[in-house]
Amino acid sequence: MKNVLILFLILFSYSCAKSPVEESSDAIDVALTYLSHEKCDDALDVLLELGNQPTNGIYLQVLASAYACKAGFNELAFIANDLTTLDATSTETIMTSLVKFSLSSESSADSDDYTNLRSGINVILGSTTGSPSQTSRTTTFGSRKAGDMGIQALILNLVNLGKFLNYYGNVNASGAKGLGTNTNSCFINYSDARATSQIGAGFGGVCNSNNDGHPNLDKSTAAGKRRMCEGLVLLTNVIDILDNLDLSTSSDLDILEDLATQVKTFLTAATAAGLGTLVTMTSQSTCETAMSTASNLNDLEFFYSIVFEKGLQ
């Protein structure tokens, strides 16, 4: 009788065990409930305890949202308040409006908010093998889910790009470069001849010296190169997503269609200048590896002079 009871309990426990799909669905539901109450760490704990779900697009999106939550980011508030202030009438107005987003103000390099947003971005960008791309996400997850993931990655990239430009561009409350609490008027120090020619010709706006860069973007250090690459891939992934998504049917996101038009100006200018490889470099690790070569680092300098310095006057 005792053996029969033990067997019954084993069979009962087995029959009540949840399948992996059910466990995943339940964990996502719990995490979403936590996020609705802004309990970011609790949501992360639930999702990370579940373990990596590399083929589950919904899990990846909720995980990215949990990291963004820790950065104080709210997608609905962003679309309602910040996105409406995006001025995409020119490449210059784009960057000026990005640095004035409500979450753009930063007082230190690699802040917790910036790092958490970066983690959320990397969840989406790292969802496929090889270099991140909207095309590869479509192949892996299908056009509908990849579209959702692409929009989420696009928005998070724009927010962190605003933070990047705000801090390293040393802007004030009005978005004017070089007038913030730091001392620099340029993003980096320039030695590449093509870059110094741009700066000398006045194309960098208030950046009119080759040696007035932000100390945290020192290209002679590993951390400086890593941050320079972060600035690059924030922009290149925006370009890639906008170039491969049709946002014209969304009334909330139609401003991004104007952004897509202007972003192609960056692409055209950089490609014409011989920087086409950098413009399509969407992988942080690939960029960091490439910057160990002097010629690639010179190209990145040149890129900063004609994109970031010219774009944020």
Q: What is the pTM of this model?
A: 0.92
User: Per residue in 235-290, pLDDT tens?
Assistant: 999 999 998 988 766 667 778 878 888 877 777 888 899 999 999 999 999 999 99
Question: Is 53 domain-assigned?
Answer: no
In the chain, the number of structural domains is 1
Residue 259 lies in a domain: yes
Judging by beta carbons within 10 Å of its beta carbon (0-12, 13-18, 19+), is residue 218 exposed, middle or buried? middle
For residue range 40-69, list pLDDT tens digits in order: 999 999 999 998 899 999 999 999 999 999
Phi/psi of residue 189, nearest 5 degrees: -85, 140
Stated length of the chain: 313
Least confident window among 76-90, 120-134, 185-199, 262-276: 262-276
Instruction: Tell me, yes or no, whether 271 lies in a domain.
Output: yes
- 219 CB neighbour count, 10 Å cutoff: 19
Q: What is the pLDDT of residue 18?
A: 64
- Of 207, 211, 206, 205, the closest CA to residue 191 belongs to 211
Q: What is the rounded distance in angstroms from the CA atom of residue 54 to the CA atom of residue 60?
A: 7
How far apart CA 217 and CA 184 sit, in angstroms, is: 11
77 in a domain, yes or no? no
Does residue 187 fall inside a structural domain?
yes
Q: Which domain holds residue 195?
A: 86-311
57-70 vs 40-50: helix axis angle to the nearest 10? 150
CA pair distance 215, 51, nearest whole angstrom: 39
Residue 200 is assigned to a structural domain of this protein: yes
The pLDDT of residue 224 is above 80:
yes
> For residue 30, what are its two tokens?
């719990």
Listed residue (122, 115, 131, 123) closest to 60, CA to CA: 123
288 in a structural domain = yes
Identify the pLDDT of residue 6: 54
Mean pLDDT, all residues of the chain = 91
pLDDT band, residue 9 (cuts 50/70/90): very low
Domain presence at residue 272: yes
Residue type, 43: A
* Burial class of residue 4 in the structure, from the number of CB atoms within 10 Å of its CB (0-12 exposed, 13-18 middle, 19+ buried): exposed
Lowest mean pLDDT among 88-97, 198-207, 295-304: 88-97
